[in-house]
Amino acid sequence: MRTYDVIVIGAGSVGLPTAMYLAEKKLSVLVIDPERGPGQANNKKAIGGVRATHSDYGKITTCLRSIEIFSTWKDIYGDDLGWMSNGYSYPAYNETDEKKLKDLMQVQHSYGLNIKWISASDYYELVPGIMMENLKGSTYSPKDGSCSPLLAGMAFYFRARKLGAEFKFNESVTDIILDKGKITQVITDKDRFACGQVINAAGSNAKAISNLVGLDSQVNPDNHEAGITEPVARFFEPMVIDMRKRPGSANFYFYQNFEGQVVFCITPEPSIWGIDNRSTSEFLPMCAKRMLEIYPRLRHLKVRRTWRGQYPMTPDGFPIVGRMKEVSNFINAIGMCGQGFMLGPGLGELITRICLDELKDDDKKILDSFNPYRTFTGMEVFK
Ligand SMILES: Cc1cc2nc3c(=O)[nH]c(=O)nc-3n(C[C@H](O)[C@H](O)[C@H](O)COP(=O)(O)OP(=O)(O)OC[C@H]3O[C@@H](n4cnc5c(N)ncnc54)[C@H](O)[C@@H]3O)c2cc1C
């Protein structure tokens, strides 16, 4: 039986960068995933938005590091991830949203975020043609950005392999053997492996993996759809997040990616729990209506395709990351909600420091936000 220092369950948004950073530290790493290749579950469903514009220290700090990793990747390693520092914006169309955003900006500034309030006319410069009626202004965080989850996932995968990490695809973790409160073996539908530590990075399937070691986890997937248009010449800059509720949706967002395609996504209300990857006929008419309301200039764009995936949600909108007390060599890196792609690289480094017991004071502060033993009674402001 092969023995590894660390087994990572799941080759997705979190598992791939984590494997890469573990291998960089010379640990022997095995990644197991039932899909046919890297990043084939929810990683490739993400629309590629990457922001540090959050409301708490943990997510802000982790995503600032992710932004650094994504944005410098091409210079350091040569692969083009499609990174653009196109920024994020939250336009406000009523005074309540304006106040909410401005209040939050004070917290964000205290964590060192580069975010400012811009007037409606300045916003029009960034998003020419945006609906001006009742527009109060917008937040703008120019260092946030976007890149391709497909390209990024593959870049992390190839570098992880180059550094010695091993991958087993078409193989699923089916059982975990414990001895005196510690994992000794990971069983798959094809094989068994001994290991020092195990990382649960199984995304939508995180709860089932936790159950294998006798734990529960508060992660429940909910379905989200997205779509992409044909490519056209660049005509607006930032990610636009329309925070207003409309029948069937809590908010929606869109941006123009590095290839000129407009990518869009909606937050359904009520949530659609479970795992169902079939696209619906409701999504496109609902989303198109919202997009044309705020940005009529999109009306001639042709939609190429839509798809559906899941956010692995927690009750409070924060991830669950940390070593489990009951099973000391089991580390959860789950419940990424709608931000697993943007959290992935920053978390990958942090999880590596958990494995090596090399946490810094700053890491501990981040992990407070993601503590598996919290009460889950709070609520992330941007959830
Ligand atoms: C429409 C849509 C748009 C989104 N847009 C964004 C965005 O712009 N930015 C952003 O940051 N996030 C976005 N997200 C969210 C993001 O996709 C997820 O948060 C992220 O992919 C979760 O990462 P993960 O590693 O936990 O899960 P995944 O990437 O799904 O990886 C988990 C892996 O575990 C594997 N696995 C499952 N069971 C087992 C098992 N038994 N044994 C071994 N392996 C197993 C799976 O096959 C999978 O590959 C979006 C999601 C959707 C659906």
pLDDT of 238 reads 98
* Contact by Cβ (8 Å): 344, 73: no
Q: Is the pLDDT of residue 383 over 60?
A: no
Find residue 249's DSSP bridge partners.
246, 268
Q: Is the pLDDT of residue 291 over 90?
A: yes
Ligand 1 center–CA 171 separation, angstroms: 17
pTM: 0.97
Ligand 1 center–CA 293 separation, angstroms: 30
Residue 124 — very low, low, confident or very high, per pLDDT cuts 50/70/90?
Answer: very high
Residue with tokens 């409070």: 316
Q: Which residues, 6+ apart, have CB-to-CB distance to 289 below 8 Å? A: 246
The pLDDT tens digits for 223-270 are: 999 999 999 999 999 999 999 999 999 999 999 999 999 999 999 999
Residue 377 — very low, low, confident or very high, per pLDDT cuts 50/70/90?
Answer: confident
Residue 382 — very low, low, confident or very high, per pLDDT cuts 50/70/90?
Answer: low
Find residue 50's DSSP bridge partners.
145
Among residues 8, 347, 27, 355, which one has the least CA distance to residue 209? 8
What is the C-alpha separation between 199 and 269, in angstroms, rounded? 32
Pocket of ligand 1 (CB under 6 A): 9-15, 32-35, 40-43, 45-49, 172-173, 201-205, 224-226, 265, 309-312, 336, 338-342
The pLDDT tens digits for 326-369 are: 999 999 999 999 999 999 999 999 999 999 999 999 999 999 99
Give the residue-averaged pLDDT of 190-211.
98
* Contact by Cβ (8 Å): 370, 322: yes
Probe target for ligand 1 pocket from 13, 18, 86, 190, with the most ligand atoms within 8 Å of CB:
13
CB-based burial of residue 131 (10 Å sphere; 0-12 exposed, 13-18 middle, 19+ buried)?
Answer: middle
Q: Is the pLDDT of residue 380 over 80?
A: no
For the chain, the average pLDDT equals 97
DSSP letters of 78-124? ------B---EEEEESSHHHHHHHHHHHHHHHHTT---EEE-HHHHH
Ligand 1 center–CA 273 separation, angstroms: 15
Q: Is the pLDDT of residue 379 over 90?
A: no
Residue 378 — very low, low, confident or very high, per pLDDT cuts 50/70/90?
Answer: confident
The pLDDT tens digits for 32-56 are: 999 999 999 999 999 999 999 999 9
